[in-house]
Amino acid sequence: MVIVHSYKRWDISRDVYVTTRLKGTPNYITSIRGEIMLNTAEDVDPSRIDDQGRYDPEPLRRHASAGAPASTQRAPVSQGLFASKHSRRYHRE
């Protein structure tokens, strides 16, 4: 068995953390300058890991689009996590 983890990496061009549904080996995550997300370790069969060290826990279905959908997370700014002066929630009219 091989241990894989969920991970995130910083996308400097968008100024956000990017995650996917893929998991990776620690070597793969290090190679892309990613960060292992805590409590996401999973033992998988080595045959399920690709040549780069990635594992897809949800293999694509026939009708699904190619690639793993990415999600983003803005970097925290002081104590107002994810809040900006442009946010509707914090904007006063």
Question: String of b and e for 44-81 (b: at least 16 CB within 10 Å)?
Answer: eeeeebeeebbbeeeeeeeeeeeeeeeeeeeeeeeeee
User: What's the confidence (pLDDT) of residue 29?
Assistant: 96
Dig out the tokens for 8 from the structure: 């995130």
Residue ranges in the chain whose pLDDT is less than 50: 63-65, 77-93
Which neighbouring-strand residues pair with 7? Answer: 36
User: What's the confidence (pLDDT) of residue 25?
Assistant: 97
Helical ranges in 2-93 per DSSP H = 26-31
Looking at the chain, the whole-number percentage of residues with pLDDT higher than 90 is: 58
